[in-house]
Structure 1
Amino acid sequence: MRSIVVEKLVLQRADGVFPAAIAIVKHTLSELKNIRYSFLHPNELNFFETLKFARVQHSYLLGRFAAKRALFAFLENFVMTEVEIAAGIFQQPIVYLPGTGNIQLSIGHREEMGIAIVYPESHPMGVDVELVEQEQSETIRDIVALGEQDKLQLIHSDPGKSLTLLWTMKEALSKVLKTGLMTPFELFEVDHVQRQDDIVICHFVNFPQYQSLSWLADGYAWSIVLPRKSELDLKMIRHLYL
């Protein structure tokens, strides 16, 4: 996979067209530390200096770098170091850039991978990424609802990959709703499952107004959650990893 992949998205609805931008980055901690002055706001730099553990530093830089690259594609004319991405009371990312309207952001990161999506407040979205690994898969089994047991095989024939994809769907939905892990994951139960080649499309029992688009790439599971009646050309998603 390339180290930075950015894609502008066009979301079609009966009542109009909505823009968005998504970025996926793959960088080591040392690479990100070397370039942090090129994309971090002064307040972000100050906060970064308070982080003591390498894993936390890496997650922070991955999320901020992916977010700034997605914002750059969405807005085009701005300086990355002038944008501050702070945390809300539920740790949701908040974009501070005067004069740009109500721009929203969702971030996901794991190991050396980061993903971010930028969208207008009027069209909520969320993203997540997880490493596919056996130990993590066994932990995820605890969040599988009874009604989802027969859908795991439809998501993917490999149990570990299926469980990890399921987790990213629920995590991305929780970011749309801005609840994070504070809400029982049973509420995010997956309903309908459909495959379009390498992309899995799912709906939700208790949130039928949303859908998830999920895929596997580079040993990771990825998901985007967006309004169910919004149409997104899947070729745009495949450009991210093919």
Structure 2
Amino acid sequence: MRNRNIFIDEFDLIRPENKFSATLCCCSFSHKIDYEGIIQYLHTQERNYYNTLKFEKRSRSYLIGRFAAKQAVAALTGEEKLTDIVIQSGVFTHPIVISNKQNIQVSITHCEDYGAALAFPEAHPMGIDLERIDPCKRDVLTGQNTEFEATRIVPLVAAAASYDAGLTLLWTAKEALSKILKTGLMTPFELFEISRIDIGDDFIMCYYKNFAQYKAMSFIVDNYMYSIAYPIKTQLHFDVRSLKENYLQAAVKTAI
């Protein structure tokens, strides 16, 4: 069984006119005690909401999402007490950071026992999504693709990884953009159509047909697809390989 694993990295967002910083926190937990250990980091407001949750799956997703978000925000702002960082929900259920440090925003994603969060300045919008690559989800994900994506994009990703990886890439890239726009599943996914992809050694770059001002970096870690959407003119200097190696080392330790 996998042990608790946490990865935090700060990276630069290089723009033609200036530079920003962002932080990414990825984590995974296997044991109930790991989730229970997160409760101590909740602000009073967050704990009050957590106490209303009745189902274990929802409780765990809330805890791992808040933990990743607080870690990412703390790493970016230098805040030492996670309880002083409050992650509230907006009217569209998007996360809002309440902190006395800086004007910071956060994007949160979670799937099963995996969670991730991006902390970034409000001036530079970003979004993140992750999903497990699962053949059982094939029919559902296929139904969200346009004809162009089904015939041109999925086969390219399938050649580099797998068919199901291609379907999951499209889903997460669209979800990541929807979080920037704060629309979620309320907007038809065909509006987020992927028009082109470039396949690299460690990640795949996705470009949007109707939102040409954005792009997404997608990569696979431990059979999970991650996608980070951000402005197209930004150069994102993030070491994807270090994240992959971190989870690989954790898997080896668990096997031993």
Aligned-pair Cα RMSD in Å: 1.4
Please state whether the residue corresponding to 2:153 is helix, strand or coil. Answer: helix
Query: Which residue number corresponds to residue 97 of structure 1?
Result: 99
Quote the Cα distance in structure 2 between the aligned partners of 1:226 and 1:31.
35
Quote the Cα distance in structure 2 between the aligned partners of 1:197 and 1:156.
15
Unaligned runs of 5+ in 2: 246-256
**Per-residue deviation at 1:29?**
5.9
Query: Which residue number corresponds to residue 176 of structure 2?
Result: 172
Query: Which residue number corresponds to residue 7 of structure 1?
Result: 9
Answering whether residue 189 of structure 2 is matched by residue 188 of structure 1, we say no
Matching residue's letter, 2:149: E
Quote the Cα distance in structure 2 between the aligned partners of 1:51 and 1:29.
19
Query: Which residue number corresponds to residue 203 of structure 1?
Result: 207
Conservation of the 8 A alpha-carbon contact between 2:35 and 2:64: no
Conservation of the 8 A alpha-carbon contact between 2:41 and 2:82: yes
**Per-residue deviation at 1:108?**
0.4
Conservation of the 8 A alpha-carbon contact between 2:68 and 2:117: yes
Normalization by structure 2: what TM-score? Answer: 0.90
1:24-103 matched pairs, under 5 angstroms? 24-28=26-30, 30-98=32-100, 100-103=101-104
Please state whether the residue corresponding to 1:155 is helix, strand or coil. Answer: helix
Answering whether residue 243 of structure 2 is matched by residue 240 of structure 1, we say yes
- Between 20-29 and 205-214, report the one with greater CA deviation: 20-29
- Between 176-185 and 128-137, report the one with greater CA deviation: 128-137
Conservation of the 8 A alpha-carbon contact between 1:125 and 1:224: yes
Conservation of the 8 A alpha-carbon contact between 2:153 and 2:197: yes
Deviations 1:154-183 (A, max 9, x none): 223211111011100000000011101000
Structure 1 consecutive aligned stretches of length 4 or more whose deviation exceeds 4 Å: none
Quote the Cα distance in structure 1 between the aligned partners of 2:117 and 2:35.
19
Conservation of the 8 A alpha-carbon contact between 2:194 and 2:207: yes
Deviations 1:113-161 (A, max 9, x none): 0000000011000000101111212210011012212111222321111
How many residue pairs match? The answer is: 240
* Aligned counterpart in structure 1 of residue 24 of structure 2, from 22, 25, 34: 22
Query: Which residue number corresponds to residue 109 of structure 1?
Result: 110
Please state whether the residue corresponding to 1:71 is helix, strand or coil. Answer: helix
Query: Which residue number corresponds to residue 145 of structure 2?
Result: 144
Matching residue's letter, 1:85: I
Please state whether the residue corresponding to 1:91 is helix, strand or coil. Answer: coil
- Between 57-66 and 1-10, report the one with greater CA deviation: 1-10
Please state whether the residue corresponding to 1:147 is helix, strand or coil. Answer: helix
